[in-house]
Amino acid sequence: MMMLIGGEWAAAAGGGVTGVTNPADLSAAGEVPQGGREDVSAAVDSAAEAFVPWSATPARERGRVLWRAAAAVRDAGDELAALLTREQGKPLTESKGEVLGFANVLEYHASVCGSLHGKTLDLQGMGKGLTLREPLGVCGAIIPWNLPALIMAWKTAPALATGNTVVLKPSSEAPLCCLSLASKLQEAGLPPGVLNVVTGPGAAVGEAIASHPGVRKVSFTGSSGTGKRVAGIAAPTLKRLTLELGGSDPAIVCEDADLERAADGIISARFYNCGQACTSLKRLYVMEPVADRLISMLKERVSALRVGDGGESGTQMGPLVSLQQQRLMRSFMDDLRSRGGEEASRGVVPDMKGHFFPPTLVTDPPSDARMLDEELFGPILPVVRTSSLDEAMELANGGPYGLGASVWTRDLDTARACAEGFRSGMVWVNMHLRVPVEAPFGGIGDSGMGRENGTESLDSYMEWKTVILG
């Protein structure tokens, strides 16, 4: 596939290409141009030129383009889902949900974009004033491989709805579905240059976007280390920044919880997308009196999970996205064993040469195990027994991340205490990993800054201008 610059499908200025591999069987899923600085410059120029007419287009008309694109994406849902599964590995049902999520995010922003306006101000004897809300200009979007379609929507929809133009860089592991989604937006009437997609390595394309003086904002989703680097690179040009970074979400299961419901919810929040979501449930703290019962329910469910090629029907968990992620998961298990820990149960992986890793349950890991400390971006679930809610909260709040957290209880006071006590941007009660577009989403600490979704994210794509009338 080609990349999209100024409304044209283009090869890289340097001529190189990068292959994309299907992680289930290591077959070729496609190839994309290996873009660089020159391509980013061309994309930013196109986006700057397109900004003038696009920002002057009535919001209602911008919304219509998003509605039409959403409808086209829904119509092509199966085909887009198959492409996403081929490059990323997730089961088709998850891919379809994600592609429809892309359409849903476009529709939400199309429906709210006509209602964004300033205020009139009574200036207490100094006359009247008003505020205008104006788009920023060219916005950069840098996205990861784990939920490429959904995260592309979280960044492009609010930017486009508010009259900005975009230069987007997908991850080299999963750029294909993003390019197809961009083509749906083009076909729906998005003018040339309003959305540009430049493929290529992070160190070249990502850094060129973050440092370009013509880019007014960067919205980055990825690991905390890369996010900090992007923030440093963007600082000299004083860009606005939204950073959606890593997470190590804890969950606490209380004595009074509905254990069947908790077990089902925990399994889906840990093993969805092969455990590769920023806000996957990554550490489980369970009250001692119900620990054995919950652990036995989890063991049963973990060993029953059907792992396989995401493209085959009935698959519940696909492979990891790459060899690098597979090695990372093995290193967590090696570290556990070196400290005297062991797995309690694991699923079965197919006899294929893809990057499979079994869904794995670890009970009572040593407290210094790396998996309790670092972001566990794969299908391993560590379970820690705790003797009080205070102890569980203290452990849950340990570490540098603060993305999501959940509590499983029937008691309203316990739920409220946890909601107030968790150090995180998101809290769920009796669920985890639900991220509706209507609700602001994001983290604190090493999980980043700023919010996506909801009307809160629209604020970050607009400038307030104050006019005082004499």
278 is a catalytic site residue: yes
Spatial separation of the C-alpha atoms in residues 462 and 456, rounded to whole Å: 11
In the sheet that holds 8-10, the strands lie side by side as 8-10, 3-5, 195-197, 165-169, 138-142, 215-221, 240-244, 448-449
At its nearest, how many Å lie between ligand NAD and the CB of residue 166? 14
x/- letters, 363..402, toward ligand NAD (CB under 6 A): ------------x-x-------------------------
Return the residue of 229, 239, 385, 432 that touches ligand NAD, per CB under 6 A.
229
Alpha-carbon dihedral 374, 378, 383, 384, rounded to 10 degrees: 0
Distances in Å between the alpha carbon of 310 and those of 86, 174, 219, 273, 279?
8, 15, 29, 10, 21
178 is a catalytic site residue: no
Which residue out of 244, 343, 374, 375 is catalytically annotated? 244
At its nearest, how many Å lie between ligand NAD and the CB of residue 133? 25
Residues 426-465 that bind ligand NAD (CB under 6 A): 443, 448
At its nearest, how many Å lie between ligand NAD and the CB of residue 445? 12
Element (H, E) at 150: helix 148-161
Which region, judged by CB under 6 A, interacts with ligand NAD, from 1-9, 183-191, 215-223, 253-261? 215-223
DSSP 3-state assignment of 370? Answer: helix
x/- letters, 141..160, toward ligand NAD (CB under 6 A): -xxxxxx---x---------
249: contact with ligand NAD by CB under 6 A: no
At its nearest, how many Å lie between ligand NAD and the CB of residue 169? 5
Which residue out of 113, 254, 278, 418 is catalytically annotated? 278
Spatial separation of the C-alpha atoms in residues 41 and 24, rounded to whole Å: 36
**Cβ neighbours for 36, distance < 8 A, ≥ 6 positions apart:** 12, 13, 14, 200, 204, 205, 208
Which position has the token pair 């359409």? Answer: 103
Return the residue of 171, 219, 414, 457 that touches ligand NAD, per CB under 6 A.
171
Cβ burial 164-201 (10 Å sphere, 16+ → b, else e)? bbbbbbbbbbbbbbbbbbbbbbbebebeebbbbbbbbe
For 237, phi then psi, to 5°, come to: -105, 15
At its nearest, how many Å lie between ligand NAD and the CB of residue 378? 11
Residues 15-44 that bind ligand NAD (CB under 6 A): none
Return the residue of 247, 358, 402, 421 that touches ligand NAD, per CB under 6 A.
247
Return the residue of 23, 135, 246, 310 that touches ligand NAD, per CB under 6 A.
246
| Interacting residues with ligand NAD (CB under 6 A) | 142-147, 151, 169, 171-172, 202-203, 206-207, 210, 221-223, 226, 229-230, 244-247, 278, 375, 377, 403, 443, 448
The residues annotated as belonging to the active site are 244, 278
